[in-house]
């Protein structure tokens, strides 16, 4: 860790440091942080365990970069970053570190109470106050729903969750069937539908972002197969009818376990 911090300081040294690293600030590093996080997720999904240490190192470097920027501005350093997460973990796990007797059934409520107190200390009073705006929309929707569910704003059965999806589909169709289609209203209704589907995923204990990533991968795999079958036919993809392409698709689907 000391070696990594020293490397980071050298990269940011105005006398002989890296020109690219010297140009960066907090805002310019954010896209790289998100990219590295997705690469970690992708590596885990592919179960490429030999690659994972390298990808985790890339992600750790992002934290070190922010810490260096903070140190240069005398705002905080890596030691402060590590201290804060240690304090938070110990505070949120009194049943582990403070030897407090907390029944397992009460652990979630205790966790939420701890987070609520932390929000209050920061002047945040809504359970939604500290959910990052920059999160991917599906994951943010899931986070919002979990927060409000924790304070009792949730259905306790699956039927109304599913009924809400049907209701939102009907509202989308009602908008697109208007004589003059309002694209903003259609977008609003599509958003409501996606939010409702996210809620169904949550009730089924499925992460919607992960589920959509899997669906993307499945579609990509099958479509590449369609392209291969079209090529084997001796005709370009665009020379096929939709019906022929659908036959290829179903053929590939039947081959899957």
Q: Residue 128 has what pLDDT? A: 87
Q: Residue 121 has what pLDDT? A: 72
- d(C-alpha 172, C-alpha 191), whole Å: 10
- d(C-alpha 88, C-alpha 118), whole Å: 9
Write the CA distances from 115 to 89, 137, 189, integer angstroms.
11, 22, 32
Q: Which of 56, 68, 60 is nearest to 24 (CA)?
A: 68
Q: Chain-centre distance of CA 105, in angstroms?
A: 27
Q: Chain-centre distance of CA 164, in angstroms?
A: 24
Beta-carbon contacts of residue 218 (< 8 Å; ≥ 6 apart): none
Q: Which residue has the tokens 């920059």?
A: 134
Determine if the pTM surpasses 0.85: no
8 A C-beta contact, residue 68 and residue 59: no
- Give the other-Cβ count within 10 Å of 207's Cβ: 15
DSSP 130-160: TS-TTS-HHHHHHHHHHHHHHTT-S-SSSHH
- Give the other-Cβ count within 10 Å of 59's Cβ: 17
In the numeric block, which tokens belong to residue 243?
């019906």
Q: Residue 218 has what pLDDT? A: 92
8 A C-beta contact, residue 45 and residue 38: no
Q: Which residue has the tokens 């169709």?
A: 173
- d(C-alpha 86, C-alpha 67), whole Å: 16
- d(C-alpha 236, C-alpha 181), whole Å: 36
Q: Residue 106 has what pLDDT? A: 65
Q: Residue 92 has what pLDDT? A: 81
Beta-carbon contacts of residue 184 (< 8 Å; ≥ 6 apart): none
Q: Residue 111 has what pLDDT? A: 66
SS3 of 22-49: the string is HHCCHHHHHHHHHHHHHHHHHHHHCCCC
Task: Collect the ranges in the chain with pLDDT lower than 70.
Answer: 99-112, 115, 119, 124
In the numeric block, which tokens belong to residue 37?
């996080």
8 A C-beta contact, residue 257 and residue 230: no
Q: Residue 105 has what pLDDT? A: 65
166 exposure class (CB count in 10 Å sphere: 0-12, 13-18, 19+): exposed
């Amino acid at each position: 860790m000391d070696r990594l911090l020293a490397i980071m300081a050298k990269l940011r040294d105005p006398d002989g440091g890296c020109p690219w690293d010297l140009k960066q600030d907090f805002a310019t590093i954010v896209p790289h942080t998100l990219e590295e996080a997705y690469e970690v997720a992708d590596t885990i999904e592919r179960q490429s365990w030999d690659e994972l240490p390298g990808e985790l190192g890339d992600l750790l470097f992002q934290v070190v970069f922010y810490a260096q920027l903070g140190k240069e501005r005398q705002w905080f350093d890596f030691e402060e970053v590590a201290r804060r997460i240690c304090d938070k973990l110990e505070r949120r796990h009194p049943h582990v570190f403070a030897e407090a007797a907390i029944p397992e059934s009460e652990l979630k409520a205790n966790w939420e109470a701890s987070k609520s107190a932390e929000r209050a200390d920061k002047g945040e009073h809504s359970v939604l106050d500290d959910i990052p705006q920059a999160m991917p929309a599906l994951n943010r929707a899931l986070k919002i729903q979990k927060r409000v569910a924790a304070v009792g704003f949730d259905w306790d059965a699956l039927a109304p969750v599913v009924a809400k999806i049907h209701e939102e589909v009907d509202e989308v169709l009602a908008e697109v069937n208007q004589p003059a289609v309002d694209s903003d209203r259609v977008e609003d209704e599509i958003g409501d539908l996606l939010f409702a589907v996210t809620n169904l995923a949550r009730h089924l204990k499925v992460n919607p972002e992960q589920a959509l990533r899997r669906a993307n991968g499945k579609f990509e795999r099958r479509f590449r197969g369609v392209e291969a079958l079209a090529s084997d036919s001796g005709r370009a993809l665009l020379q096929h009818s939709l019906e022929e392409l659908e036959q290829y698709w179903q053929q590939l689907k039947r081959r899957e376990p």
